[in-house]
Each structure stands twice: as C-alpha cells, then as structure tokens.
Amino acid sequence: MSKGGEVSEAAEVIATSIFSQNEKKGRISTSFGDKNYEGLQAMIENDNYTSEEVAEAIFYPNNKKGKIKTSFGDKSLQGLLDMVRYARKDSWWRKKLKMSKGIY
C-alpha cells in the first residue's frame, strides 16, 4: 500500500473496474497469487512494486486475446498500465495537496 496506508479513491475505482469484470468466486488471479477485492486494491497501491510489475501481474493471468476486461472497456497491457499509473498518481497528488494545506 502507498505510504500512509490509505487507499486512494482512484485506486478504489480502478480496482472495482478490474475486479468486477474478472473475479471468479470472489477472487481474481494475479501473478502474485489470487486476490480478493481488498488485496487487489492494496496491490495497485503497493509502492514496493513498479506500476509495470503490478499491471503485468494482473494482465497476464486474465487477458483474453491480448485484452483484459474492465468497466471502462477492454484494455491492452498498456491501457491497464495507464490505469495503474493513474491510481498511483492520484494518491501522490492527494497527499501533496493535503500537506500543502497542513492536513496530515
């Protein structure tokens, strides 16, 4: 999870978009093992892995014909990577905004 332990709103939206289209029996397959919804959120925000590693870990076990289903339409690996990067950028920008306003 990103530093601070808080899941960003963008990570929730991205995780929901991916999970809802690819889960089987309440879990989604990833290269890091099967994850429940909360585990997928944490994986997206985990700073110990690069955005590329996270996107690949989600994409390869779930892609069909080079695309993965999301609520935003079918995505290529690059499209999924862009979604993961967005979730992480949002989290970083929100923290920066909070610090600039003195909210910790």
Mean of the pLDDT values across residues 77-103?
Answer: 72
Number of domains present in the structure of the chain = 1
Q: Looking at residue 47, what is its pLDDT?
A: 86
Residues with Cβ within 8 Å of 68's Cβ and at least 6 positions away in sequence, in order, are 18, 21, 22, 58, 59, 62, 74, 75, 80
104 part of a folded domain: no
4 part of a folded domain: no
- pLDDT top residue among 60 and 101: 60
Task: Tell me the per-residue pLDDT of 8-56, one tens digit each, with 9 for 90 and over.
Answer: 788 899 999 999 999 999 999 999 999 999 999 999 999 899 999 999 9
32 part of a folded domain: yes
Which pLDDT band holds residue 91 (cuts at 50, 70, 90)? low
3 part of a folded domain: no
57 part of a folded domain: yes
Give CA–CA dist 69/35, Å, rounded: 17
Q: Inform me whether the pLDDT recorded for 1 exceeds 50.
A: no
Enter the pTM of the model. 0.79
1 part of a folded domain: no
Q: Which domain holds residue 86?
A: 9-97
Here the tokens at position 67 are 């695309």
Beta bridge partners of 68: 75
103 part of a folded domain: no
83 part of a folded domain: yes
Q: Looking at residue 36, what is its pLDDT?
A: 98
Residues with Cβ within 8 Å of 5's Cβ and at least 6 positions away in sequence, in order, are none
What single-letter amino acid sits at 44?
A: I
